[in-house]
Amino acid sequence: MTWQARIQSALDERRAADAFRVRNVVENGAGRFLSCENRQFCNFSSNDYLGLSQHPQIVRAWQQGAEKYGVGSGGSGHVSGYTPAHQALEEELADWLGYPRALLFISGFAANQAVIAALMGKDDRIVADRLSHASLLEAANLSPAQLRRFAHNDVAQLRSLLDKPCHGQQLVVTEGVFSMDGDSAPLRAVHEAAKQQHAWLLVDDAHGIGVMGDEGRGSAYQQNVKPELLIVTFGKGFGVSGAAVLCSDSVADYLLQFARHLIYSTSMPPAQAVALSASMAVIRSAEGRERRARLAGYIHHFRQSLRHLPFLSTDSQSAIQPVIVGENSRTLELAQALRRQGMWVTAIRPPTVPSGTARLRLTLTAAHELQDIDALLEALYVASQ
């Protein structure tokens, strides 16, 4: 088979399964409303859970950072790309989340890949929740360590896998809030199971940080758990982008020596670090508390009303509210029906989610109004008829 034949075969297979991905050019894709092809939609696909991506204080902070530092960092943090703005953000994050150190990464994907690649050896074992993010599972598959997956949030199976003999170290991997189901991991029970076998716990809290817990400190803080490795990302609750790894002094020093994604990547623009510090300040403030309360009210209202509609959902108390449809073609039809009613929703299909669980991944944000949630529920009702 030639290169072109191989590529065409893979594309044809995706199209035949109604799983072909496309991008849409949109304006203001993180806001309450977005525009596509000169039409306005109410946006229920954004991860900007607190509505901070357009917050004037944060936007101005980025502008001021750019005026001071320019628009790029100029290099890796190991060379010339580590500025007072980066240092200040790392120190603020560590203090806020109760860790000795924080290390900044350009993205959550890079952070997850870097930590697993740097830490794991051929005699080690990774025990990961089956529904962990693709960046975590790909990193585990590419590492020399053995990968074993446990059924979603099944602590008993996790314990069973950890009990099996292992010549090296074991790392338990899970998420605080799962990106496709929106439900939370039982972090206390997971951490206890890990500690019983002297394993470390890595928690990716991309969808919990900023949104859950006191001052928005996230899922682990909310459940009174302190994993050995906490990864937080800034493209959701923070409304910006990037990520950080929270860890001990020795682990931070180790990653600075061996995490290739950190060593060989240009660091985030200093202006971005300034904006992230401003975003953290809003998240920790009374305004942040009010935004979280507003979002929680929308989530409760939506879930109570969805029970009266003919759809399956998950046990999600987060901003992620999936509507499980099942078949790919039916999910695409529903997404298009909702868009005809002015609702921008996204159809999520395998391989992103397990086969037979194609869904509408709806996200609620503090930028919405109650009337938006009611309009979405009405559109779902009409589409289901």
Catalytic residues: 47, 133, 175, 179, 204, 207, 236
3-state secondary structure of 31: coil
Distance CA 185, CA 202 (A): 12
41's tokens: 């939609």
Distance CA 240, CA 59 (A): 10
β-pairing, 229-233 vs 243-247, is antiparallel
Contact partners, residue 165, CB within 8 Å, separation at least 6: none
Distance CA 282, CA 203 (A): 24
Angle at 342 between CA 339 and CA 345, to 5 degrees: 45
Torsion on CA atoms 47, 352, 220, 312, rounded to nearest 10? 80
Contact partners, residue 160, CB within 8 Å, separation at least 6: none
